[in-house]
Every structure is written in structure tokens, then in C-alpha cells.
Chain A
Amino acid sequence: MKKIFILIFASVAFIGCKQNDEYKKVDATQIKVDGTINAELTSPPFVPKPVGDRPAKKLIVNLEIIEKEGEMADGVKYVYWTFGGSVPGSFIRTRIGDEVEFHLKNHPDNKLPHNIDLHAVTGPGGGAKSSFVAPGHEVTFSFKVLNQGLFVYHCATAPVGMHIANGMYGLILVEPEGGLPPVDKEYYIMQGDFYTKGANGEKGLQPFDMTKAIKEEPDYVVFNGKTGSLTGDNALTAKVGETIRLFVGNGGPNLVSSFHVIGEIFDNVHVEGGTLINHDVQTTLVPSGGAAIVDFKVEAPGTLIIVDHSIFRTFNKGSLGMINVTGDDNKTVYSGPQSDEVYHPEGGTIQTMPNEASAKAPKAVTLVERIADGKSIYSRTCFACHQPTGEGLPNTFPPLAKSDFLNADVNRAIEFVLKGKTGEVVVNGKKYNSVMTAQTLTDDEVANVLTYVYSTWGNSKKEVTPAMVKAIRSKK
């Protein structure tokens, strides 16, 4: 008897504990609405004002579909199909229990019928069945938001993949009662993969390439619809000590994103945009047609780099963004470089290797040899950012080919290679605001690689000697 009693007691306690830990599902169908408001819609990277403690309301959303030409990268044009004129489409912010009256308008100039599937909708096709709309028409349908979280919406008209690949996706946020915890800054970022007839960087109006899309071989993987949407003048901003929340989505159509911010650790991640919160996360997976909410406090000034850590996409296909954090240094959190000294694995004193002379690589002496050596250094050290043919990456890494900046001042070029460069430069009329690290190359190597760069791509043919490098290095 006693035993049973204890057992029952124990299990009751156990269940009690467990229930406390468990997520309590709100029955949102029972939430009454109070009044009507028009939804504020925003283009990326901005989001509408938080819902705060407002009651559930009837929320009127007016979203217009516009097919229009835009710029994928410098000189690369693309015809986007958009919700609200931007890629990703307008951000829609709701709270649980809201009754959304959705007006979907298809601009008369558009060629195609469209519809919308909102992952936040409980009902057939997520609204797609009720929202099929011909050009020059407007359809209306309503739904009640029953689940909190961050949800993707997209077009689901045949062929679905093509509509999504042309930019027809966006995010709808459903906040819990009382809203998400307040933060200092909120931004909207959505990744997408694009398939163009020409290769990455090929100029002119690029049509969509269905074959590449089926093979899942994108030419561009970008944040917010184009390369450079979050760099340079478009970079996100924050101040030291602020807490930043990013609403991150992935429109796909094909690729899954390994979302990462270089130089930050996410304090909180709403895993897959849902209610589960994970802490202290380095990289979070954002599935195609999925989302995540991440937040973090910025502790030190500098530039944080937003990437898809499937990293070739970042450096070769465009998925790169920046957050410029301003404020006072916090040396406890991050010291910056403190010292740079020679490292000898064999011990503190310099040791002479036997047969040193014969082991040494043959030294490049003639101009031709030096250029060849420079080319090989370039392809190891420089090409990842400045690209194999020196054209750089639009808005991110300045070009070395036909570069007015490079040709104007050779000593400055040497100095950048030796000591790195942070901050704004203007090259061929375009502003770049990025970071180049100091390169650990010998005087000979610096001289050779610069001679190579000057000798090609329409540059001034200037020859850089080790002595010139040495002079700059010794300058303080």
C-alpha cells in the first residue's frame, strides 16, 4: 500500500514537473478580435513595428504582385516577379489570433496569373487555392493565424519552381501574445538561389535558366534578391551594446542555408522559426521554405559578416552581408591584434638547416620569372577575394583589373598588401567598404605578386622590386 502511494506521488510529481517544462499550446481559435487595422508592410531589410501588447485584431493586408526588371549584380539585369515590388516580398507582421483579410492584387501589366501560399495559414494550399488571380484582378481571402512563429510565404502557380526562382517569396511573422521580447534593432534577411542563362557576372539582361534550376546549379546565391543588398552603403548598422534580432528566411527554391554571422554567436535561436529556443549557436540551418529568428548582443565595434557558411556561395555566388557596429572598443571582449612575432617550431634560436642552399626554391630573377612566380602567389593568396581575373566582387571586393586606385600609387598598394586595409576606398568610381587582412608574404613574394598584378589586366606595367617593399615595411 505504502509503496503504491509513493509511486503515485512520485509520478504525480514527475508529471507535474514535466508539464511545467512543456510548451503550452494556445488555442488561438478562441481568441476574440478587437477592432480593425491596416497592416504595415515593409521592404527588406526593414520590418514593421512590433505588435507589443495590442489585442488580436482584424488585420487588412494589401499586397501587390509586380513583375519588374531589377539588378542582380553590377550590370546584370534580371526580371523579378515580386510580392510588393521587392525580393523578398513585403514583411507581414501579425500576432496570434489575428484575423487577416488578405487582398492579393495582380498588376495589370503583369503577364502571368499568380497566387500565394502562406505557411502561416491553416487551410488548403495555405491560401493558394483561394488566391489564384489573373493580371488586372484582385482576390480576397481571410484566415486566422493559429500558430506563432516565423513563416515563409511564396507563389504556388505552375510551374511553382520558376515562380519562386524569380523571387516570389517573403516572410510573415506571428508574434505571441504580448509580442517577442523587445530588442534594439530588428532586420529582415532572406536567402535565395538564382539561375541565369549566362554564368555568374555575365552582363546584360539574363533570362531564367530552367535547366540549371532543375539541376540545382545556381549562378547566384544571395541575400535579399541581389548581390550587395547588405554591403557597402546598404550594410546593416548597430551600436556596441545593442541587441540585434534577425528574421532570417530562405526562399530557395533549392538550396538549404547554413546561416552564420562571422564574429558573433547567436544568444537565442528560434529553431526553424518555431517556439523551441536554442542558445549559444554558431550556425543555424535554414531550410528552403523555412525560417529562423536569431538574436545576439553586439559587444565590440567592427564589421560582422553575414554569410551562408556553405562558403563558396559567399565568396563566389554573392551570399554576403555586413553589419557595421560602431562604438567604443571593448578590449576585454576582443583585444584586436596584440603582437605579431616570428614563430620557430624548433626552438627559440634560429637554426640553420643543412644544405640550405640546395633546398631553397629557385629564385625568380628575370621579369618573366618574377611574373610567373607572382601569378602562382596570386592564385594562392589573392584570387578568392579579387577573383581569378582581377575583376573583384561587386560592392564587396574592389577590382584589380584596370584599377585607377591601384595604378595611382604603387607605394600605397605595397602598404595594403603588407599591412592590410580596413575602411572605404573608391575604385573606378565605386565605393568599397571592406576588410583586407595583412598578408604574411616575404619582400620577394610581395614584389613578385604586385609585379604580376601590374603586368596584367590593363594595368600600368609597373615593376615592383623587393627593395621598394622593404622600404615600405620598415616605415612605421
Chain B
Amino acid sequence: MKKLYFLFVVIVLISCSKDKETNTLENITVPSVSTPNDVSFGVETPMVSIKGGKYVPLYGKKNKAVEVSDLLMDVYPVSNENFLAFVKQNKRWRKSEVKKLFADDNYLNNWKKDTILATDMKPKSPVTNVSWYAANAYCECQGKRLATVDEWEFVAMANQEMADARKIKAYNQYILDWYEKPKTFNNEIGKTFKNYYGVYDLHGLVWEWTSDFNSILLTGESRSDVTTDKNLFCGSGSLNASDLMNYAAFIRYAFRGSVKANYAVKNLGFRCVKDTLNTKKP
């Protein structure tokens, strides 16, 4: 009988790890989903220049700084009206046309029709219910790309005044408070704070896709993540002065770990970035 138990446990373990593997394979950021079929759609959005630098991420090798190169980042997340222009030009990303492989059933599911927003949706609200594939294609059409997790986290460390506000209590509390504010996806872009670099809405509006969102795998069983993955040094069990900062960031990583590239989620949008001409590869 005991053996049966064991077998059960083994099966569960195997199925879990299998899942993880497929996740990883599925979500490796190989260009490109976009094809020459996707054409420019005449939307230009303001970008700001971000001076690169080093930072120590929440997850990574202990105390090892990650280098982020200079880049340009969209000031705002992509809005409903921008994405509408994109799907008008690119039929294959309309909700009736999109391949299930690239977007699940929630893709643009609040839209009235393929190229018509629902009446209660504001053109200036961030576009959500978009899959990673669609977001990727959108950015490529503009000659841009999605930010990496490191790039996104690097810019998002900033509050209004400083580049790295992660130890400021008010900054962390702002993020934590947002987690409890329902339906912020209905708000318009550019209404939260303008950060140190001139970027809006990284916190307080919607989640955002990153190119390698699933490179850090949280199993969702947060209590064992500490030991299952060697990269996850900063355990949920550790309690110290930077607790609030960890909690705010944990939820972001947990969210990224819960999605797959074809998921379309109501609180998840995106913005694009671009390498600068003088981008040096580290």
C-alpha cells in the first residue's frame, strides 16, 4: 500500500516537472512570431531614453548585479486605440482570425467586434487581454521589441525622484495598494506618476508583458520555490528590512510565473522598447 502512495507522489512530481519543461520550451523568446505579413499601422508613440546601469534583481545569483544596456522605452503602455489601429491593418491578429496557438479564448474578448471596441471601453485605456505573441508582433511592427524582465524591473525601480526607490516605504506601499485596487484596467494611460526617467504607469495601472517573462519559474507553491530553484536565492521565508520590497516584487514574479505566452489576461497589457543606436552589448 505504501508503495502505491509513493507511486502517486512520483507521478505528481513527474507531471509537475514535465509541465515546467514544456513551459520553458514554449516560452523561449525566439524571434519571431511576426512575419512580413504584419505591416506598419501608422502609430507613433513617444519614447524616452533610459541610461543603462547595474542592479541586483530580487531573483538571481546572490548579490550578483545584472547589467542593463541603454535603451528607449515607451512612455505609456499601448492603448486600446493604438492596438485597434494595429489589428485594422493586420487581419491575422483580429480576435476572429487569431490562431489558438497564439492566443487563448480570452484574447480581446471584451471587444465588441474584430475592429470595434466595446462601448464601455475607453480608447485611452491600456489594451489588455492580449497574448504575448500579439504583443511581440505589435512591437516588431514598430521596429521595437518587448522589454526583458531585467530591463523592465530596472526602469520600474524608480519613483518620481530617484532611480532606485526600492527601499522607500511609500514606493512599496503604492505598489501593494495597487494590488488591492479592483479594475484599474479601466483607467486611462498616463494618470499614475511620472517616474525618474519620464515613464508612466509601470506601477498602478496594469501588469505588462516582458519578452522573457517565464525565465524565472515560480511553481506557485511559493513555500517550496526557495529550495526548488537554485536561482531563487531570496526566499519568501527571509524576513528583514527589505520585506516590503520583497513582497511587492514577489507578487510580480508570481504573476509572471502564472501565465503562458498564449494567455490573454484582463489586467495584463504591454509596452515596447527599442535599442539605442549606441547600445553596447554587455
Contacts and interface: CB of A to CB of B under 8 A. Distances in A.
Interface of A: 27, 29, 67-69, 79, 108-113, 115, 117, 122-125, 128-137, 156-160, 162, 166, 207-208, 210-211, 214
B86 to A, nearest CB: 22
Given A115-B221, A132-B220, A132-B221, 18 more contacts: A29-B5, A68-B182, A69-B182, A113-B259, A124-B13, A124-B224, A128-B221, A129-B221, A129-B224, A135-B265, A136-B265, A156-B221, A158-B250, A159-B246, A207-B180, A208-B180, A210-B247, A214-B239
Contacts of A158: 218, 222, 225, 236, 250-251, 253-254
B218 A211 contact: no
B219 A129 contact: yes
Contact of B220 (A115, A135, A159, A208): A115
A113 B16 contact: no
A137 B251 CA distance: 18
Contacts of A69: 182
B166 interface: no
Contacts of A112: 179, 251, 254-255
A208 B247 CA distance: 12
Contacts of A115: 220-221
B251 A159 contact: yes
A210 B16 contact: no
> Chain B CB within 10 Å — which of A29, A69, A128, A135 has the most?
A135
Nearest to A206: B180
A157 B254 contact: yes
A69 B260 CA distance: 28
A66 to B, nearest CB: 10
B225 A108 contact: no
| Interface bin, chain B | 35 or more
Given A123-B12, A156-B222, A210 B267 contact: no
Interface of B: 1, 4-5, 8-9, 12-13, 15-16, 106, 173, 176-177, 179-184, 207, 218-225, 236, 239, 243-244, 246-247, 250-251, 253-255, 257-260, 263-268
Contacts of B176: 207-208, 210
Contacts of A207: 173, 176-177, 180
5 contacts: A111-B182, A113-B259, A134-B265, A135-B267, A158-B218
A69 B182 CA distance: 8
A108 B183 contact: no
Contacts of A159: 222, 236, 246-247, 250-251
B12 A135 contact: no
The 4 tightest CB contacts between A and B, nearest first, are A132-B220, A113-B258, A158-B222, A134-B258
B269 to A, nearest CB: 12
Contacts of B223: 125, 156, 160
A26 to B, nearest CB: 12
Contacts of B267: 109-111, 135
B176 to A, nearest CB: 6
Contacts of B4: 29
A51 to B, nearest CB: 24
Given A27-B1, A123-B9, A135-B265, A109 B182 contact: yes
Contacts of A131: 220
A67 B250 contact: no
A135 B251 contact: no
B221 A124 contact: yes
A351 to B, nearest CB: 64
A83 to B, nearest CB: 16
Contacts of B253: 158
Contacts of A68: 182
Given A113-B258, A210-B244, A211-B244, A157 B222 contact: yes
Given A67-B182, A109-B182, A156-B223, A130 B12 contact: yes
Contacts of A134: 255, 258-260, 263, 265
Nearest to A106: B258
A130 B17 CA distance: 11
Contacts of A157: 220, 222, 254
